[in-house]
Structure 1
Amino acid sequence: MKKYIIGGIAGFLLATTLSAHAEEVTSLIGKTIQGAFPFQIEGKTLATPAIVVDGTSYLPVRALGEATGYDVSFDADLGISLKKKEVQPSLPTPTPSPTPSPSATPDPQVPGDLSSGYQAIKTVILSLEDEKSQKSTGDFGLIQVDGARYVSLATLSSFYTISWGEPMLQLSYNGQLVGLFATKSQYSKGTGSFTYDGTVYVNLSLLKLKGTVNGDTLVLTDDI
């Protein structure tokens, strides 16, 4: 019991009577603990109880310090020390970046990619200045590539006269020659004609035409 009293008073207890002198504390050695009772701080009961010696209450220093935000240390020469704990600032919770929605815009056409520039045409309308509009339906093809538009010969066959020859063919309109085009050539940027999937395609600009597409309808007009 004596060892408990000495250890409790020297290492863990703080007298509620702050005016006690060292000789008064020394005089407690060997005294009998008269009672122990729970101690609360703002409604929270500490794990270590307070004790009563000779009618004076003594509180557990470490439990009291930690409950009130202090670091408690003990030094044989300096005694018990309480130091206010440093509060570490809380880091803000990073806001997650929104997941980008998939773009509805199609990928840009790769230069020279004929397959991605192909479009099936069902109706072709030829509307030239001072002439009555003409219309043709069927399975036609339009290729838009490198900023130019090419149409298959079948697209033009209802309006133009096609004269086949090797290695060139000629297109005439109302009896007038409008152009000579290669029948077997590979595509290159700006070329007048090329063969794709077994079909000859002709550059509209060389026919002095421009094309406007609406759905599967192609309207050919003068390129003025």
Structure 2
Amino acid sequence: MKKYIIGGVAGFLMATTLSAHAEEVTSMIGKMIQGAFPIQIEGKSLNNPAIVVDGTSYLPVRAFGEATGYEVSFDADLGISLKKKAELPVVPSPTPSPTPSATPAPPVAGDLKGGFQSLKSVTLNLQDEKSQKSTGDFSMIQVDGAQYVSLSTLSSFYTISWGDPMVQLSLNGQLVGLFAANSQYSKGTGSFTYEGTTYVNLALLKLRGIVSGDSLVLTDDL
């Protein structure tokens, strides 16, 4: 019986009041255990039971200490020591970086389809000229930093003379541009043909385009 009491945990038992002195523990030696009962701490059962000696319940020290957050140590001179375990600092979970919002991809060099825009109205607003407006189905292409408009767009204000292989544009009887027809697009070219339509570089006409919705204003490129 003595062996059972000592062998519970680290060879010692602790009174439920946790106030037993060495003399009191010694006085239990040789006494009969009157009962053993399972222990639960917050619903969790300990492996070692509590025992009853002379009507007092005793707990297994190490099992109880570890279950309640204590470090249990034994010294032959000092006896049993319970020390609260140091709590590890709580490391905050890293805050996830915000997902970057999708940004439009930069235009691809030479992407005629990506720079294409349909227009419903075009206004020619030049210095020393009366403003003119035309409505219909027009188009322009902005590509590689340049603006191109279809000849059908310009035909509302300019006189177009077709020749092979050149196209001539005149305004109020004065020649303002001569362009090659049926040429392929290349960066900085004066004109090119795309899907059967000829487009002219506004810079070569000393014009710039201002787009608002499906409306285009052509004005002097000052």
TM-score for the superposition, normalised by structure 2: 0.76
The residue aligned with 2:145 is 147
The residue aligned with 1:48 is 49
Cα 1:51–1:79, aligned 2, differ >3 Å: closer, same or farther? farther
Which residue, out of 162, 173, 191, partners 1:164?
A: 162
**Which consecutive residues of structure 2, in runs of 5 or more, have no partner in the other structure?**
none
Identity of aligned residues (%): 65
Cα 1:5–1:219, aligned 2, differ >3 Å: closer, same or farther? same
Output aligned runs, 1:4-153, within 5 Å. 4-9=1-6, 11-14=11-14, 17-20=20-23, 24=26, 28-29=29-30, 31-33=31-33, 48-53=49-54, 58-72=58-72, 82=81, 84=83, 85-103=85-103, 106-153=104-151
1:176: Cα distance to partner? 1.4
Q: Deviations over 1:60-117 (max 9, x none)?
A: 3234433443344679x899754634433333233333334445xx432212111111
Q: Deviations over 1:166-199 (max 9, x none)?
A: 1111111122111210002111111111111111
CA distance in 2, matches of 1:158, 1:101: 43
The one-letter amino acid paired with 1:124 is V
The residue aligned with 1:191 is 189
The one-letter amino acid paired with 1:20 is E
The one-letter amino acid paired with 2:49 is T
TM-score for the superposition, normalised by structure 1: 0.76
Cα pair 2:37 2:49 within 8 Å, conserved: no
Cα pair 1:70 1:82 within 8 Å, conserved: no
> What do you get for the CA RMSD once the two structures are aligned?
3.5
Q: Deviations over 1:120-168 (max 9, x none)?
A: 1121212222222222222111111111111111111122121111111
The residue aligned with 1:200 is 198
Cα pair 2:50 2:57 within 8 Å, conserved: no
Cα pair 1:72 1:80 within 8 Å, conserved: no
CA distance in 1, matches of 2:186, 2:58: 99
CA distance in 2, matches of 1:180, 1:56: 115
The one-letter amino acid paired with 2:4 is G
Cα 1:213–1:56, aligned 2, differ >3 Å: closer, same or farther? closer
Cα 1:78–1:204, aligned 2, differ >3 Å: closer, same or farther? same
- Which is further off, 92-101 or 116-125? 92-101
CA distance in 2, matches of 1:177, 1:190: 21
